[in-house]
Structure 1
Amino acid sequence: MIKLVIPGRPISKSNFKLHNIHGQAWMPSSGKHSKYLAYENMIAGFINQQYDGDTITEDLIMILKLYFPDKRMGDLHNYPKSICDGIEKSGIIKNDKQLKPVLLFDFIDKENPRVEIELYPLSKYNVSYSIDPI
């Protein structure tokens, strides 16, 4: 199991897309809308500081824990894309398609907003879940 921690509030990819007159979306690489690319690079940098192994080629179970400073978290389903792109950019994996399944959890931590990533090789771990009545 590999555990990685990215400090700071998570950033959603959908908030930084621009659209041309034909409705096509694109991500700017400079200017005020380039914050997403900086976040991707920041994720890659923190991962490279914490992981010193070889590039992983097999599929991985990913548990993603998002810690926000307050209840203003937006659409949670938009956050994994930016994080997965940063993981791929770090070189720890070949392609973010390797990250499946993805389990997503959200929490509030006013003092320490962050992203916690846990990666489990699918060849060594199995995922099971249950939904139980209260």
Structure 2
Amino acid sequence: MIIITIPGRPISKSNFKLYNIHGQAWMPKQGKHSKYIAYENMIAGYINQQYQGPSLEGDIITILKLYFPNKRMGDLHNYPKSICDGIEKSGIIKNDKQLKPVLLFDYIDKENPRVEIELYESSKYKVSYKIEKTG
């Protein structure tokens, strides 16, 4: 099990994409869109600071806990891409296709916005879930 904390408000990849006339998305390397690349690099840097072990092989159970400073978070489903790209860029995995399943949770923490990443090798751990009716 590996737990990594990335300080600061999570950044969504969709906010930084540009599209050509054929509808294909691309990420510019300059201007305001370069913030996304900087965020990916920041995630990779924090992972490399907090984990010095070997690369992870096979499928990885991934839990992403996003802590926002307020309720203005946009589309929650756009955040995992930027985070998973940063995990891959760190070298801890070979390809972000290894990150499955990905469980996503969101919280509000005005004082300490952050992303908490938990990684579990599927060969050593299993995931289960339970949904119960309230009341």
TM over 0.5: yes
* CA offsets 1:79-128 (integer angstroms, 9 cap, x no match): 00000000000000010011100110000000000000001110111111
**Mapped partners of 2:53, 2:2: distance in 1:** 10
Residues 10-49 of structure 1 aligned to structure 2 (within 5 Å): 10-49=10-49
**Mapped partners of 1:26, 1:108: distance in 2:** 31
Query: After the TM superposition, which of the residue ranges 104-113 and 26-35 deviates more from structure 2?
Result: 26-35
**Mapped partners of 1:122, 1:21: distance in 2:** 41
**Mapped partners of 1:33, 1:91: distance in 2:** 23
Q: Which amino acid aligns with 1:101?
A: P
* CA offsets 1:14-62 (integer angstroms, 9 cap, x no match): 0100012222211001112111000000000000000001111221100
Q: Which runs of 4+ in 1 moved over 2 A?
A: none
TM-score by structure 2 length?
0.97
TM-score by structure 1 length?
0.98
Partner residue, 1:70: 70
**Mapped partners of 2:5, 2:129: distance in 1:** 24
User: How many residues were matched structurally?
Assistant: 134
**Mapped partners of 1:76, 1:45: distance in 2:** 23
Please tell me whether residue 96 in structure 1 is matched to residue 96 in structure 2: yes
Partner residue, 1:120: 120
Query: After the TM superposition, which of the residue ranges 16-25 and 105-114 deviates more from structure 2?
Result: 16-25
Q: Which amino acid aligns with 1:109?
A: D
For structure 1, the residue ranges without an aligned partner over 5 or more in a row are none
**Mapped partners of 1:82, 1:132: distance in 2:** 31
**Mapped partners of 1:105, 1:22: distance in 2:** 34
Q: Superposition RMSD on alpha carbons, in Å?
A: 0.7
